[in-house]
């Protein structure tokens, strides 16, 4: 019965043919390994955020008098509310980890080169949108942590001469973080940013479909050059996307879920410091508020440079470099090991970021 319904539908939409042509007969590089699964994992992590976020919406109240209590209710009263909230909270942090790793590996493999410059650029936009989702989501629980880290964050634009104060007030909807800010951040978190994220995500996936997976150069091999054009190519001697790479993807989804539920079970407060358990109080500034771990490095850099304007300008320049990188690096070849300066810079950036993150915690 089910089979005949499936055949009836398939005859009309051609799903079998699509799966055969796009997945079974599409060959990706033979060297594809667990690092090649990170983009897929990022997509899965994002879908988990979307589903759990929609469930949280059914009980969350975006009002300063009720937001904190509504989260307490989700955690303690609503059946399985704690599970959805914990998956959303820990999942957001793991999504950022995956995003960093995915970005690092596509950089290491020099996958951003022609014809994949736009894959990179759309990826950087996705990265910014996800960072904004993290910032806006951080305020929603309306805890001391939410309130005061948003106060610090929204003060950053004030270092800009002239328009800085205006931008800061515009983001907050007033002189202080208030119910207006909460409403604004809520709208961005649940509607405006997800809208752009879906659009950009669709563009990113379309571009990957169009250009195909990037070639992978192993060890000291000569660089693999592609046979021109922008149509995707299947790799001769490669492995089929389905079932070979798909199986690796699924295995990594399993690893991801194990880490996610491992943290929820054994370290539920990993991303909830003490101030996250106290309701926001605009009249009492806590002694020490730290931004979330992914902002510790930029935070430490701002603190290290006494001139705040200079501190922000350095970061804006770094971000611009990150965004335009495929257009700056025009050298042919896909083997980073043959580019000692680039490889050195890559390692230095990772080490500096790690050291700054540790310093940011002090
Ligand atoms: C929500 C965020 C993102 C999702 C869902 C996503 C998803 C994917 C997927 C499924 C692939 C193909 C497989 C792979 O190479 O892993 C891919 C490739 C790629 N991504 Fe992303 N990505 C995201 C963010 C980013 C970011 C932040 C960057 C760079 C800063 C980026 C740059 C690239 C590039 C250059 C490729 C082509 C590499 C290749 O074809 O092998 N992506 N992405």
Ligand 1: distance of its center to the CA of 189 in Å? Answer: 22
**Looking at residue 221, what is its pLDDT?**
58
Burial 3-13 (b: 16+ CB within 10 A, else e): eeeeeeeeeee
pLDDT, greater one: 62 or 161: 62
Q: Is the CB of 136 under 6 A from ligand 1?
A: no
CB 116 within 8 A of CB 326: yes
Q: Which atom of ligand 1 is nearest to the CA of 46?
A: 1
In-domain check, residue 299: no
**Rounded mean pLDDT, 312-340:** 94
**Rounded mean pLDDT, 235-253:** 95
Q: Which atom of ligand 1 is nearest to the CA of 212?
A: 40
Q: Is the CB of 95 under 6 A from ligand 1?
A: no
In-domain check, residue 301: no
Domain that holds residue 253: 22-282
Least confident of 213-217, 265-269, 277-281, 354-358: 213-217
* Residue whose CA lies nearest to ligand 1 atom number 23: 123
CA 53/CA 189 separation, integer angstroms: 10
Domain count, the chain: 1
Ligand 1: distance of its center to the CA of 111 in Å? Answer: 9
- Is residue 271 helix, strand or coil? coil
Residues 6+ positions from 74 with CB-CB distance below 8 Å: 56, 59, 60, 81, 82, 84, 85
Chain centroid to CA 276: 22
In-domain check, residue 131: yes
State the chain's mean pLDDT as an integer: 94
**Looking at residue 237, what is its pLDDT?**
87
Of all helices (H) and strands (E), which one includes residue 360?
Answer: helix 340-361
**Rounded mean pLDDT, 193-206:** 98
Q: Is the CB of 107 under 6 A from ligand 1?
A: no
Q: Is the CB of 46 under 6 A from ligand 1?
A: yes
* Residue whose CA lies nearest to ligand 1 atom number 12: 39
User: For residue 338, is pLDDT > 60?
Assistant: yes
In-domain check, residue 287: no
**Rounded mean pLDDT, 176-201:** 98
The CATH number of residue 222's host domain is 1.20.810.10
In-domain check, residue 342: no
**Looking at residue 27, what is its pLDDT?**
93
In-domain check, residue 300: no
Ligand 1: distance of its center to the CA of 123 in Å? Answer: 6
**Rounded mean pLDDT, 89-116:** 97
Ligand 1: distance of its center to the CA of 335 in Å? Answer: 19
Ligand 1: distance of its center to the CA of 295 in Å? Answer: 22
**Looking at residue 332, what is its pLDDT?**
85
- pLDDT tens for residues 261-294? 999 999 999 999 999 999 999 999 998 888 999 9
**Looking at residue 362, what is its pLDDT?**
83
In-domain check, residue 139: yes
In-domain check, residue 177: yes
* Residue whose CA lies nearest to ligand 1 atom number 31: 123
User: For residue 142, is pLDDT > 70?
Assistant: yes
Q: Is the CB of 122 under 6 A from ligand 1?
A: no
Q: Which pairs with CB-CB distance under 8 Å and at least 24 residues apart come from 147-155?
A: 147/177, 147/280, 147/281, 147/282, 148/275, 148/285, 148/286, 148/289, 149/289, 149/290, 149/291, 149/292, 150/177, 150/181, 150/185, 151/176, 151/177, 152/289, 152/291, 153/291, 153/295, 154/181
**Looking at residue 202, what is its pLDDT?**
98
CA 324/CA 313 separation, integer angstroms: 16
């Amino acid at each position: 019965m089910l089979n005949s319904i499936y055949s009836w539908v398939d005859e009309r939409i051609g799903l079998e043919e699509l799966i055969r042509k796009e997945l079974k007969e599409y060959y990706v590089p033979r060297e594809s390994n667990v690092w090649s699964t990170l983009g897929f994992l990022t997509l899965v992590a994002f879908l988990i955020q979307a589903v759990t976020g929609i469930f949280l919406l059914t009980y969350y109240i975006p009002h300063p008098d009720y937001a904190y209590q509504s989260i307490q209710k989700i955690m303690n009263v609503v059946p399985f509310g704690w599970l959805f909230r914990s998956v959303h909270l820990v999942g957001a942090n793991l999504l950022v980890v995956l995003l960093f790793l995915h970005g690092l590996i596509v950089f290491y493999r020099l996958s951003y080169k022609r014809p994949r410059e736009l894959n990179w650029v759309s990826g950087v936009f996705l990265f910014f949108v996800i960072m904004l989702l993290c910032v806006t989501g951080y305020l929603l629980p309306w805890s001391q942590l939410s309130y005061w880290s948003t106060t610090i964050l929204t003060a950053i634009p004030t270092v800009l001469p002239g328009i800085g104060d205006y931008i800061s007030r515009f983001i907050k909807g007033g002189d202080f973080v208030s119910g207006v800010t909460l409403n604004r951040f809520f709208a961005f978190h649940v509607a405006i940013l997800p809208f752009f994220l879906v659009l950009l995500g669709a563009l990113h996936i379309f571009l990957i479909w169009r250009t195909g997976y990037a070639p992978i150069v192993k060890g000291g091999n000569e660089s693999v050059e592609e046979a021109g054009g922008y149509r995707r190519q299947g790799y001769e001697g490669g492995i089929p996307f389905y079932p070979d790479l798909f199986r690796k993807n699924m295995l990594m989804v399993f690893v991801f879920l194990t880490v996610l539920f491992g943290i929820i079970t054994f370290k539920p407060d990993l991303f909830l410091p003490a101030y996250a358990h106290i309701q926001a109080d605009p009249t009492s500034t806590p002694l020490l508020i730290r931004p979330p771990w992914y902002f510790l490095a930029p935070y430490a850099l701002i603190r290290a440079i006494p001139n705040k304007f200079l501190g922000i300008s350095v970061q804006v320049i770094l971000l611009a470099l990150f965004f335009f990188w495929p257009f700056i690096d025009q050298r042919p070849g896909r083997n980073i090991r043959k580019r000692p300066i680039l490889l050195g810079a890559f390692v230095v950036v990772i080490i500096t970021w790690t050291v700054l993150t540790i310093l940011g915690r002090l």
